[in-house]
């Protein structure tokens, strides 16, 4: 078994959909939603310098690299980045913590934070957003998606990888701390998942 096959087998066994490739996803609904989001993000990337935060196995970074000026994908999981480098050649992949980005100030037009903020503690989500704001160019955009907490605080969280789910008002308040303008929308009327866009202050 090759190294890339060994890594793929390991990720599939983990059953961790956020770090999966679209072709590995079990449910058709989640696969279709994933690819729809990816297409929407790709449309924002033409000619841009893009940072794919918490990129996992790198499939989205690779897709965005087809139209972006440059794409950097980061993840703190060394094996995910190893897989990305073995499978995809175009983007630049780095083992890096989102709370301690090593990029210079004002270098990205777009930061993608898809299905990630719910994996951060409150303290770490603030640190990551501060770093995102730092590396974005003036008027640069943060785009992300996350589940939302639509039930009371004592809800049972079924995903062991999640640290916290936000209500819409909580997420709005957090993003407004670091960004000049924030838009949050539910992906469709019956969905608890939120899509957010934030514009960096000049």
For 99, 109, 116, 145, the CA distances from 49, given in Å and listed in that order, are 20, 5, 20, 20
Closest among 49, 42, 63 to 108, alpha carbons compared: 49
Res. 151: pLDDT tops 90: no
Total count of domains within the chain:
1
Percent of the chain exceeding pLDDT 70 equals 82
Q: Domain range holding 81? A: 3-200
Contact (CB, 8 A) for 191 and 170: no
CATH at residue 21: 3.40.50.150
Q: What is the pLDDT of residue 44?
A: 95
Q: What is the dihedral of CA 1, 8, 54, 149, to 10 degrees?
A: -160
Q: Which residue has the higher pLDDT, 91 or 94?
A: 94
pLDDT tens per residue across span 152-163 = 444 445 666 777
Q: What is the pLDDT of residue 37?
A: 86
| DSSP character at residue 170 | H
Closest among 102, 88, 96, 20 to 53, alpha carbons compared: 96
Q: Which residue has the higher pLDDT, 80 or 91?
A: 80
């Amino acid at each position: 078994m090759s190294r890339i096959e060994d890594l793929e087998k390991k990720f599939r066994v983990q059953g961790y959909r956020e770090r999966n490739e679209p072709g590995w996803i079990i449910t058709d609904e989640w696969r279709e939603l994933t690819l729809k989001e990816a297409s929407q993000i790709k449309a924002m990337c033409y000619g841009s310098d893009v940072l794919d935060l918490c990129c996992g196995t790198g499939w989205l970074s690779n897709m965005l690299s087809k139209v972006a000026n440059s794409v950097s994908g980061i993840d703190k999981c060394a094996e995910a980045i190893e897989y990305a480098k073995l499978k995809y050649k175009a983007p630049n992949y780095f083992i890096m913590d989102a709370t301690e980005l090593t990029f210079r100030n004002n270098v990205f037009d777009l930061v993608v934070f898809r299905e990630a903020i719910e994996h951060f503690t409150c303290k770490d989500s603030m640190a990551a957003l501060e770093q995102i704001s730092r590396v974005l160019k003036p008027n640069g955009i943060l785009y992300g998606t996350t589940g939302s907490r639509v039930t009371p605080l004592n809800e049972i969280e079924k995903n062991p990888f999640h640290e916290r789910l936000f209500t819409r008002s909580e997420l709005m308040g957090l993003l407004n701390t670091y960004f000049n303008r924030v838009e949050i929308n539910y992906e469709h009327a019956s969905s608890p998942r939120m899509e957010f866009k934030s514009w960096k202050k000049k």
